[in-house]
Amino acid sequence: MIKMKKIVPVFFVIILGLFTASTSIQGTGFGEIVFAEEQPVYRNVMYYGDWSIEDSEGNFFPKDIPAEKLTHLNFAFLDFDVKGNLEWTDEFAAVGTTGGESTVVDYAPNAGLLNALQELRLKNQNLKVGVSVGGWTKSGDFALNAQNEDYRKNLVSNLVKFVEYNQMDFLDIDWEYPGSVREPDLVDSKKDEGTPEASEKDRQNFITLLKELRSGLEGLGKKTGKKYELSVALAAGPYTLNMGTDIAGVFEVVDFANLMTYDIHGAWENTTNHHSGLYTSSKAPQGNGKPWSFSTNDSVNYFLNNGATPEKIVIGAAFYSRGWGNVENDGPDPENLPGLFGSADFATVDADGNKSRGAENAKPLVNGDQGRNGGIWAYRSFDQLKEKYSDLTEYWDDESKASYMYSEASKVFFTYDSEQSIQAKTNYIREKGLGGVITWMQSQDKPSAEESQKRDTLTTAIYNGLYKDPTLQVHELESLPLAIKTTVAPLMDGKEGYKISLTNEEKLIETDSVLKAVEKNHKTIKNPVLSVPNESGELFTLSTEKENLTKTSVKPSQSLDLSEVGIMFIAPGETVTFDIYTDADFAHMKRLAYLNLEQRILSDGVTYGTQQIYELPATYENTGKISVRLVNEKEELLAEEVVHQGEVGTSLELAVPAVEGYKTETTAINGLFKYSPQSISVVYVLEDPVEETGKVMIKV
């Protein structure tokens, strides 16, 4: 079965789911941010499961998502306990994996899928990233949490913080399903919680939870200057919805609702059908010993008739098949639509030894980890499916606007979404004025180009169908200032430059285990880049080597990658110190009027979070010292050393003193005041080669 979701039969309609001069500038909030008007009319919403990185999913990482074709990307899933404390479904995936990046180390502050999704969003500003909470196997604690005010408020607070720390754009609640009691299916998933505590009270508690989440997101928006969206995943049909979902009430609160119009039919039934068909065929069974047929259109109409707002309705597409084995070609149109609505008998055995009507899955059955046959094949694996059943033939049901494959010899039947069925769905969305498409899930799509890692065939079909103008709306990304103390002082070792000290003054305050991890990552300065002014043409480097300083790089500011001096991360409470050097004749504090800092998720990635971390104080030490020494050939002082002081950058010009009995070839004493102490020695020799005795007289 598809990980994190499981389907069971219900009477009437099967409703299924997934789902020294120093300044300290501290970040006290977010700067003023200008955003584009409203998001596009149509949403292309995609699920990305955290198990996509596993071998079974072909090690699919966020960097290979066709994000330029999407508007919303749902990270699935985040779990929680009854008290509202957050829990990982896969901690390594969330914060540990390298994400397929050679420059990332496991569990580094820039590791994990959550960071990888931020990087994807930075590169694709049309994309909004959010987190989906719950899912088919992780909805067991919703009921008891939502009915307890303290527990519910704790969950709301923690989820809003999770969105903030991960710089997300929306929150998706996938409660499967309010009011619907279900025992866990431990054959499908040993981690399945079921929903044993579900009750009629869920109907109002669901609305209360959503309203409090909306309020929490609005509070976060006041802090960040940004509007956050709230979405839900909902069952497709009446039977499950009637158990505990107030459709009108939900739609009043959320920005959009994802109707899970997939898994509508499957091998728990004794008759084949479309699991994500757009329309219900007039030939489809309607009871009389066979399942009632249902479709996307039936679901949409039910929602519209019960208070849903059309433009908030997002209908489902499936990047995978469902299938039956042992299917007879005895449907209503065996010649033109062979196998469709045909009878199916037991064909396979599940991992627990029970018989199943399901065709074999692409993945081997494992008891406790997708242990049930259901003909589950990712769209990207259809070539292997056709190799397994060489006589498998593709068919199009024009009345249902749905694709399927059937082999009369092998007696297997597979229902799925194709480019053709997706085109029909996007046309339907435009005709009905609906909100867009929600798809399960990105890793199951197929690359459109050979050797490409980008799985985009069906994703592109949705994109082409929804958007006549291929340019998606761009969203400004918020600035995320951190509390950073910066100290700048001139170098005093004879080199021309500045000593910079950066202290990350952020405090770690979270106690929730999930929030502790994401808070630390968020508050750690990652792959910092320092921006320094060089309007005067002064150029800077982190090295004393000057061959890389060329006048072609002159511009209002210059960026310095601190990784060049080994600074990759600055954790909360940590201080780093480094030097920057100038190609000018002398360093001057006034030319370092400000410093800006940017971050990057990846060392070669997009910069974000620009913030000013230093401003030149109104007063600062700006005095240089030059010592003048009058010495003999043995470097012995002939008179007391004189220290001259002057403003940095000004000149010292002195006549050479006369020393009785001595002479010198030096004609003048010239120097340039700098921050580093300097010494000028004037060497004198005896006018007559006689022994030096006593003190000498200096004639000035």
Digit-coded pLDDT (tens) for 636-686: 999 999 999 999 999 999 999 999 999 999 999 999 999 999 999 999 999
Q: What is the pLDDT of residues 59-86, one digit of tens each?
A: 999 999 999 999 999 999 999 999 999 9
79-132: per-residue pLDDT in tens? Answer: 999 999 999 999 999 999 999 999 999 999 999 999 999 999 999 999 999 999
Predicted pLDDT at 387: 98
Joined tokens for residue 455: 């799985």
Give CB contacts under 8 A, 24+ apart, made by 531-536.
Answer: 531/557, 531/558, 531/559, 531/560, 531/595, 531/596, 531/597, 531/598, 531/610, 532/557, 532/558, 532/560, 532/580, 532/592, 532/595, 533/557, 533/558, 533/591, 533/592, 533/593, 533/594, 534/558, 536/591
What torsion do the CA atoms of 576, 109, 603, 489 make, to the nearest 10 degrees?
-10
Q: How large is the average pLDDT for residues 618-645? A: 96
Terminal alpha carbon distance of the chain: 99
Q: Which residues of the chain form CATH 3.10.20.320?
A: 623-699
pLDDT score for 698: 52
Per-residue pLDDT of 152-176, as tens digits, reads 999 999 999 999 999 999 999 999 9
What is the C-alpha to C-alpha distance for residues 29 and 33, in angstroms, rounded to an integer? Answer: 12
pLDDT value, residue 538: 84
Amino acid at the residue 71: T
Listed residue (76, 218, 46, 121) closest to 478, CA to CA: 121
Query: In the CATH hierarchy, which top-level class contains the domain 484-615?
Result: mainly beta
Residue 475 confidence (pLDDT) above 90: no
Confidence of residue 35 (pLDDT cuts 50, 70, 90): very low
User: 535 pLDDT exceeds 50?
Assistant: yes
Q: Which two tokens stand for residue 72?
A: 């919303």
User: What is residue 555's predicted lDDT score, i.e. its pLDDT?
Assistant: 58
- What was the pLDDT predicted at 11? 28
Query: Is residue 694 pLDDT above 60, yes or no?
Result: no
Average pLDDT over the chain, rounded to whole? Answer: 92
| Per-residue pLDDT at 545 | 56
C-alpha to C-alpha distance for 179 and 176, rounded to whole angstroms: 9
Pinpoint the residues of the chain covered by CATH 3.20.20.80.
40-320+418-466
As a residue count, the chain comes to 700
Beta bridge partner(s), residue 393? 406
The helix (run of H) or strand (run of E) holding residue 490 is strand 484-490
CA torsion angle 599 600 605 606 (round to 10): -50
In the block, tokens 């959009």 appear at 256
**Gap between the Cα atoms of 263 and 277, Å rounded:** 10
**Residue 33 binned pLDDT confidence (cut-offs 50, 70, 90):** very low
Domain with CATH 2.60.40 in the chain: 484-615
Instruction: Measure the CA–CA gap between 342 and 346, rounded to whole angstroms.
Output: 13
Q: Check: CATH 1.10.10.10 for 623-699?
A: no
15-39 core/surface letters (b: 16 or more CB in 10 A; e: else) = bbbbbebebebebeebeeeeeeeeb
Segment 556-567 mean pLDDT: 92
- Cα–Cα nearest to 269, from 440, 13, 602: 13
Average pLDDT over residues 368-378: 98
**Residue 185 pLDDT > 90, yes or no?**
yes
40-320+418-466: CATH number: 3.20.20.80
pLDDT given at position 424 = 99
What gap in Å lies between CA 217 and CA 213, rounded to an integer?
A: 6
Asked whether the beta carbons of 164 and 220 are under 8 A apart, the reply is yes
SS3 142: helix
Check pLDDT > 70 for residue 252.
yes
- The whole-number pLDDT of residue 689 equals 65
Asked if 582 and 539 touch (Cβ cutoff 8 Å), the reply is yes
Token pair, residue 436, equals 């867009």
Distance of alpha carbon 204 from alpha carbon 149, whole angstroms: 13
Asked which of 33-37, 293-297, 382-386 is least confident by mean pLDDT, the reply is 33-37
**Bridge partners, 570 (sequence order):** 525
Which residue from 323, 283, 278 is spatially nearest to 298, judged by alpha carbons?
278
Q: Please, what sign has the CA dihedral across residues 149, 154, 155, 157?
A: positive
